[in-house]
Amino acid sequence: MLQLYFSPMACSLASRIALMEVGLEARYHQVHLSTKKVADDDGDFRGISSKGAVPVLVLDNGERLTESAAVLQYIADLKPERGLAPPPGDPDRYRLQEWLSFIGAEIHKAFLFPTFWYKDDGSLAKPRARITQTLSVPSAHLADREFVVGQRFTVADAHLAWALLLLRPAGVDIAQWPSLSAYLKRMQARPTVRDAIATEIALRKTMAA
């Protein structure tokens, strides 16, 4: 069985959504990112991945795959008939990779990551100024589309929905981009997305308790 190392409401949420979308069962291991401990057994998460970051997907052959873009495409390709990624060779597959890279680098690493992990001693001013320009890209793209790539839900939507969800706690109100708030509402109404969020919010509350 696949195993997913995750932290509630971290970027690994997109991998949980993808697993639910393809209907694959997995064993989920919760990680405390600040202490790098695995909740199951208090084990050292760095022993699972030297990157110390979620998601980590343990494959059926025991290999460990990291990086959301790779993990999401791997899950999608396990059940190609679910259409979570265009098939290899389809021009839209490169569009999918284009968006996964953009979300991972420009929204997650350039903005969400420093906002949640670094002290705001003034150094966040530049990422905060830049995120407005960054978000204008998906905002324009989604003005007349239901999904990020093609005509159906793909792993790029799982990734973008997660990133948009985290903008509010990061201090960015997406109401200023009507196409993004409408898109997020649509995504949150999708049963897998709704259920994955509910599961992880409940786990987060347990962590805080």
160 binds ligand GSH (CB under 6 A): no
Minimum distance from CB of 201 to ligand GSH (Å)?
A: 15
**Binding marks (x or -) toward ligand GSH, 2..21, rule CB under 6 A?**
--------xx----------
Phi, psi of 53 (to 5 degrees): -130, 145
Contact with ligand GSH (CB under 6 A) among 18, 20, 53, 148: 53
Give the integer Cα–Cα distance in Å for 183 and 174.
11
Q: Which is nearer to ligand GSH, 86 or 104 (CB)?
A: 104
Count of C-beta atoms within a 10 Å radius of residue 175: 9
Minimum distance from CB of 191 to ligand GSH (Å)?
A: 23
Sheet of 26-32, strands arranged across: 43-44, 37-38, 26-32, 2-6, 56-58, 64-66
Q: Which is nearer to ligand GSH, 11 or 155 (CB)?
A: 11
Q: Which is nearer to ligand GSH, 67 or 98 (CB)?
A: 67
Q: Which is nearer to ligand GSH, 48 or 142 (CB)?
A: 48
Minimum distance from CB of 200 to ligand GSH (Å)?
A: 12
Give the integer Cα–Cα distance in Å for 134 and 164.
12
Q: Which is nearer to ligand GSH, 50 or 61 (CB)?
A: 50
Residue 27 contacts residue 19 (beta carbons within 8 Å): no
Give the integer Cα–Cα distance in Å for 31 and 40.
8
Give the integer Cα–Cα distance in Å for 200 and 181.
21
Contact with ligand GSH (CB under 6 A) among 46, 52, 130, 178: 52
Interface residues for ligand GSH in 81-110 (CB under 6 A)?
104
Give the integer Cα–Cα distance in Å for 23 and 25.
7
Residue 82 contacts residue 76 (beta carbons within 8 Å): yes
Among 49-57, 84-92, 137-145, 200-208, the segment contacting ligand GSH (CB under 6 A): 49-57
Query: Which chain residues interact with ligand GSH by CB under 6 A?
Result: 10-11, 33, 52-55, 67-68, 104, 113
